[in-house]
Amino acid sequence: MPRQILSIVVLLVQFLWLSAAGAQTRAFVDDAGRTVEVPERIERVMAAGPPASVLLYALAPDKMTGWVMKLTDEMRPFIGERWRDLPVHGRLTGRGGTANIEAVLAMKPDLIVDVGSVDATYASLADRVQEQTGIPYVLIDGRFARTAEILRTFGDLLGEQENADALAAYAEDAMARLDAVAAGVPEENRPRVYYGRGPQGLETGLSGSINIEMLEVAGAVNVAASAGAGGIANVSIEQVLAWNPDVIVALDPGFHAAVRTDPMWSQVAAVRNGRVYRVPTLPFGWFDSPPGVNRLMSAWWLAGVLYPGSADVDLAAKTREFYRLFYHVELGDRQIDTLIDGAQGMK
């Protein structure tokens, strides 16, 4: 679309939105401290990135304008049938952003929401998109410890308080369980853990990375923290050997399968002792990928991984419950087996 025509369209959308909203707006202060005028009644919401997409789907799936990325054939059975074929509008934030102003306008949202970091970079993006489209854009701090608060705040914003309260109560119960398990383990017995991402398992999260936040919440030691602060980083097998973790949490199924027979990895204590665990990732990761409300499943799964014998739980039952509440789907036994096979250690 030529730039002049696009500018006219943007101005028209802004005019129509402001005219329709009129006095029927309210001020919402987001987690970046921005005051955003949002409609009193919000019916269509666009997620700016994957964590926001998961939150929106869990809380108010009928208000989604679409997905930030195409659902794979493997993901689709774990999503409620009514929402599997929503359009894909791309993402505004994070690596690989694909959405643009035209995509935003085409979705005709009443609100854009992003969940995760709320630093100046994301605030600037939100301001710019809001200015260009006339569509309110709010930022929500996505730290895991705030999960229940996030659900209630977002539920109030969307007029979904009843569902938000139910999901927040679940979150509080799950997090309290994880806290109790971790608190019962002396500091000297906390496992040293390596989080291996990528097909070779040589990508990991440094100290402070949101991608390894669950390790910190669970009271484990992230061995890669000694390499400094930051996000995702590439490391060498020699570095992993020097760290010699007690537990490896593997994101990529290929890495999880290969590590058991790789002569280099066989020197790592976690591999020798069979404590290499594959993160379930359908439709979204239990540990990461994305770092959203989907990580609540780690309260049950990761506790058992890190503290075997101290966190006995019926993982299949907890999986069924979580997927019903957050993903609006009733899982069959075979689907549950697909999720947790390999997630309970090397066989």
Q: What is the 3-state secondary structure (H, E, C) of 30-86?
A: CCCCCEEEEECCCCCEEECCHHHHHHHHHHCHHHECCECCCCCCCCHHHCCHHHCCC
41 pLDDT above the threshold of 90: yes
CATH number of this structure's domain 3-168: 3.40.50.1980
CA atoms within 13 A on the CB side of 70: 3
Q: How confident is the model at residue 347 (pLDDT cuts 50, 70, 90)?
A: very low
Average pLDDT, the chain: 90
Q: What would the two tokens of residue 71 be?
A: 């659902």
Least confident of 162-166, 167-171, 187-191, 269-273: 187-191
130-147 residue pLDDT tens? 999 999 999 999 999 999
User: Which whole number is the average pLDDT over 70-88?
Assistant: 97
Give the dihedral of Cα atoms 221, 226, 230, 236; nearest 10 deg. -100
126 pLDDT above the threshold of 60: yes
pLDDT for residue 17: 47
User: Which whole number is the average pLDDT over 16-27?
Assistant: 64
How far is the CA of 52 from the CAs of 90, 132, 168, 218, 338, in angstroms? 12, 21, 16, 23, 26
Distance, in Å, from the CA atom of 305 to the CA atom of 317, rounded to the nearest integer, reads: 17
pTM given for the model: 0.89
User: Which whole number is the average pLDDT over 201-221?
Assistant: 93
By the 10 Å C-beta count (0-12 exposed, 13-18 middle, 19+ buried), 176 is classed as exposed
260 pLDDT above the threshold of 90: no
Q: What would the two tokens of residue 153 be?
A: 């705040």
243 pLDDT above the threshold of 80: yes
User: Which whole number is the average pLDDT over 163-168?
Assistant: 97
Per-domain boundaries in the chain: 3-168, 189-340
23 pLDDT above the threshold of 60: no
57 pLDDT above the threshold of 90: yes
User: Which whole number is the average pLDDT over 285-311?
Assistant: 91
Q: Do the Cβ atoms of 89 and 106 come closer than 8 Å?
A: yes
User: Which whole number is the average pLDDT over 17-34?
Assistant: 77
pLDDT for residue 21: 45
pLDDT for residue 298: 92
Q: Which residue has the higher pLDDT, 1 or 258?
A: 258
pLDDT for residue 147: 97
pLDDT for residue 156: 96
Least confident of 93-107, 110-124, 271-285, 316-330: 93-107
User: Which whole number is the average pLDDT over 45-62?
Assistant: 97
322 pLDDT above the threshold of 70: yes
User: Which whole number is the average pLDDT over 217-227?
Assistant: 94
Quick one: 189-340 is in which CATH superfamily?
Answer: Nitrogenase molybdenum iron protein domain (3.40.50.1980)
